[in-house]
Amino acid sequence: MVQEMLRLSTAGSVDDGKSTLIGRLLFDSKTLFDDQLAAVEEVSKRRGEDYTNLALLTDGLRAEREQGITIDVAYRYFATPRRKFIIADTPGHVQYTRNMVTGASTSDLALILVDARNGVLEQSRRHAFLASLLGIPHLVVCVNKMDLVDWSQERFEEIREEFSQFAAKLDVHDMAFIPISALHGDNIVHRSASMPWYEGSSLLHHLEQVHIASDRNLIDARFPVQYVIRDYGTDFRGYAGTVTGGVLQPGDEVMVLPSGFTTSIKAIWGPGGTPVQEAFPPQAVTVELTDHIDISRGDMICRPGNRPSAGHDIDALVCWLSEGGALKPGGTYTIRHTTRATTAEIQALDYRLDVNTLHRDESAEALALNEIGRVQLRTRQPLLFDPYRRNRFTGGFILVDDTTNNTVAAGMITGPALRDGGAVWQPTRVGREDRAAKGGTVWLTGLSGAGKSTIAVEVERRLIAEGHAAYLLDGDNLRHGLNSDLSFSAADRTENVRRVGEVAKLFADAGIVAVVSMISPYREDRERARAAHEAAGLPFVEVFVDTPIEVCEARDPKGLYARARAGEITGFTGVDDPYEAPESPDLVLNPTQEDTEALAERVVDLLTRQR
């Protein structure tokens, strides 16, 4: 059997039992050696503690032991026959963000500890947010010290509910809750006898079973060239590097960036010259190409039909890691991204993000240690990149201070900077009155399963039948193309609605009736779409499809409510994410009282009256 590797990160404060939990995992998985245990017992005794303080195992440096705190990321290892685990253990005090971000950058899974007595504290939320920001696919929330709350199921459920509500705002794909006692070993390796009501896995079992094989990006082929291997004796010329996305095969047609030349893969060699038929991330391989092309370190091999973005202007979220100095607009640094290094200047700081409240402070002028914000960067050489959420390795970068040589920031690319890229509005010579028809937008909002799309399809059909130009913009359909890079986090939902609003506006401007059908749960986002239309002098009709949630859930046409209730999916509107109904819609439809034809007719009537 192949032993897989799973990397996890933990974070927590001195008191929530994190070190004890790690000590317990090492101890119970028999990773701990007698001499380590003896040393810990001796120190415990010397300190006058009346139990073996497993936490001492993870306090690595003398300075930490003296101060009783952990000051840095420490790496621990344990293994079962199925998996080897690498724990990036980070402290929860002052330098938490820096260390957590470092530990999280390579993790498959984040382990969050909540003290059952205290509930969900600020730092648990912060850790969940950072895990989501760094794109960790799996979260495990351990509700610890269950022994101190009488193994109460009610308390556990309360914490689960509270945490889920917060996490719904984040981009988290998979979340599990486990009630444990690290001190006594309950639900760590074996299921706890004290909590028969808990039917899930023990922590170790969960860590062994969680499905990680498809977390990596196996779609977008990305191969940053790291080193050119030349053997003069055999005239060999190969491009060495680590596959950071997609799958490479001999015979594949490839494009080399930034030159743009196309060629094909002649052969792929594993370490030491083993022929490779399929190379996946994160394999280190050497690629031979059919044609002689001038390629050097920092170039990228990809597929001609699936290229990364290339450009100098980049938007990114950055975390400032340095005690000395702060990030300010105008600052210049060396940026290290894939295998390329160049100079980057901070063009603007858009906002600072409060990691506790998720509030965006747009008045911020600098980022200090442990602060996170959104910036616009301009690089001297173009970067070849993907959004971080699509690929951690082509979307992540560090900034290095050229004076101290220190790594001062970690960055996650959100996309190419477009807003202030010097684009000037290009006037056209066709006015709205010159077009054949007058356009506008009908916006249907409501819960999942409310019947929006059914009505929208009928509205589009009627308009076309009556000789109008109309086009259906369906939220689900657009997520297959235009919005395929967006998740269901609150920020991405806002972006989703913004994009659809912009597209609808273009259709309306072109003289077409755009029929929009999307949940668009947040009032503010819909208002923004309306404002954009009004500013452009285009009609905008908001239609509220007011089907009660009980009805939507009973229908559940896609089976999504059932999955959301089962906790399989999070951030589901109406279940664990809010739906904000319109306060003054132009029209309210009630599918429980009228049939689709009648409802569609009411929409078309309203449009006709408005013209």
Partner 1 sequence: MTAVSESAVPVEATDAARDNLKALESEAIHIFREVAGEFDRPVILFSGGKDSTLLLHLAIKAFWPAPVPFPLLHVDTGHNFDEVIQFRDQVVEQHGLRLIVAHVQDWIDDGRLTERPDGTRNPLQTQPLLDTITEHKFDAVFGGGRRDEERARAKERIFSLRNAFGQWDPRRQRPELWNLYNGRHRPGEHVRVFPLSNWTEADVWNYIAREGVELPSIYYAHRRKVYRRDGMWLTEGPWGGPRDGEVVEELMVRYRTVGDGSCTGAVESTATTVEEVIAEVQASRLTERGATRADDRLSEAAMEDRKREGYF
Q: What are phi and psi of 361, to 5 degrees?
A: -100, 105
Per CB under 8 A, which region of 100-108, 115-123, 377-385, 430-438 contacts partner 1? 100-108
Residue 363 annotated in active site: no
Could you give the angle at the alpha carbon of 171 between the alpha carbons of 167 and 174, nearest 5°? 75
Task: Provide the minimum distance between the beta carbon of 594 and partner 1 in the complex, in angstroms, as a whole number.
Answer: 25
**Residue ranges in 390-419 that form contacts with partner 1 under rule CB under 8 A:** 392-393, 396-398, 400, 405-407, 410
Q: Which of residues 423-452 bind partner 1 (CB under 8 A)?
A: 448
**Which of residues 373 and 574 has its CB atom nearest to partner 1 in the complex?**
574
**446 in a labelled binding site:** yes
Q: Determine, following the binding rule CB under 8 A, whether residue 283 of this chain makes contact with partner 1.
A: yes
Sheet holding 440-445, edge to edge: 470-474, 513-517, 440-445, 540-545, 587-589
**Closest approach of Cβ 39 to partner 1, in Å?**
7
Q: What is the x/- site pattern for partner 1, positions 239-258, by CB under 8 A?
A: -xxx----x-----------
Closest CB to partner 1 among 369 and 604?
A: 369
Residues with Cβ within 8 Å of 251's Cβ and at least 6 positions away in sequence, in order, are 264, 265
d(CA 486, CA 494): 10
Angstrom CA distances, 164 to 12, 160, 433, 577, stand at 19, 6, 51, 10
The interface region with partner 1, picked from 78-86, 179-187, 344-352, 581-589 by CB under 8 A, is: 78-86
Q: Which is nearer to partner 1, 115 or 525 (CB)?
A: 525
Site for partner 1 in 373-392 (CB under 8 A): 392
Residue with smaller CB distance to partner 1, 36 or 263:
36
Q: Identify residues 524-553 at the interface with partner 1 (CB under 8 A).
A: none
Alpha helices in 2-149 (DSSP H): 18-28, 34-46, 62-67, 96-104, 122-133
DSSP 337-405: ETTEEEEEEEEEEEEEE-TTT--EETT---B-TT-EEEEEEEEEEEEEE--TTT-HHHHEEEEE-TTT-
- Whole-angstrom distance, CA of residue 503 vs CA of residue 493: 15
What sign results for the dihedral spanned by CA atoms 572, 97, 242, 376?
A: positive
Should residue 152 be labelled a site residue for partner 1 when binding is judged by CB under 8 A? no
Least distance (Å) between residue 400 CB and partner 1: 6
Q: Between 466 and 505, how does the x/- string for binding to partner 1 read (CB under 8 A)?
A: ---------xx--x-------xx-----------------
Closest separation in Å from C-beta 64 to partner 1: 9
First to last CA, the chain: 70
CB atoms within 10 A of CB 448: 25
Find out whether 409 is annotated in a ligand binding site. Answer: no
- Distance CA(235)–CA(137), nearest Å, equals 44
Closest CA relative to residue 178, chosen from 139, 225, 140: 140
322 belongs to an annotated ligand binding site: no
Kindly tell me which of 101 and 256 has the beta carbon lying closer to partner 1: 101
C-beta of residue 397 within 8 angstroms of C-beta of residue 244 = no
Q: Establish if 39 lies at the interface with partner 1 (CB under 8 A).
A: yes
The CB-of-460 to partner 1 minimum distance in angstroms stands at: 21
Q: Does 230 bind partner 1 (CB under 8 A)?
A: yes
Residue the block writes with tokens 């998720």: 358
* Neighbour order of strands in the sheet with 284-289: 222-224, 300-302, 253-257, 261-269, 284-289, 236-242, 227-231
Contact call for residue 236 and partner 1 (CB under 8 A)? yes
Residue 62 interacting with partner 1 (CB under 8 A): yes
Nearest partner of 78 among 19, 32, 20, 38, judged by Cα: 32
What type of residue is 295?
I
Nearer to partner 1, 224 or 585 (CB): 224
Binding site annotation covers 448? yes
Interface residue with partner 1 among 67, 154, 196, 229 (CB under 8 A) is 229
Measured at the CA of 364, the angle between CA 362 and CA 366, to 5 degrees, comes to: 140
330-338, 359-367, 376-384, 500-508 -> range binding partner 1 (CB under 8 A): 330-338
In the set 19, 107, 181, 520, the catalytic residue is 520
Q: Residue 79 CB, nearest distance to partner 1 (Å)?
A: 7
User: Strand pairing partners for 347?
Assistant: none
Exactly one of 10, 102, 202, 414 binds partner 1 (CB under 8 A); that residue is 102
Determine which residue in the list 14, 43, 69, 482 makes contact with partner 1, applying CB under 8 A. 43
Q: Is the CB of 22 or the CB of 114 nearer to partner 1? A: 22
Q: Which of residues 557-586 bind partner 1 (CB under 8 A)?
A: 558, 560, 563, 568-573
- Find out whether 67 and 94 touch, Cβ atoms under 8 Å: no
Question: Is 68 known as a binding-site position?
Answer: no
d(CA 210, CA 201): 11
Q: Output 234 or 584, the one with its CB closest to partner 1.
A: 234
CB closer to partner 1 out of 218 and 364: 218
Residues numbered 187-216 forming contacts with partner 1, rule: CB under 8 A = 212-214, 216
Torsion of CA 212, 215, 219, 220, to 10 degrees: -130
Interacting residue with partner 1 among 28, 72, 208, 580 (CB under 8 A): 72
4 binds partner 1, rule: CB under 8 A: yes
Do the beta carbons of residue 268 and residue 249 sit within 8 Å? yes
Give the whole-angstrom CA distance, residue 135 versus residue 415: 15
The residues in 168-187 that bind partner 1, with binding defined as CB under 8 A, are 172-173
273 is a contact residue toward partner 1 (CB under 8 A): yes
**69 touches partner 1 by CB under 8 A:** no
Query: Which residues contribute to the annotated binding site for ATP?
Result: 446-453
List the catalytic residues: 520
The annotation places the binding site at 446-453
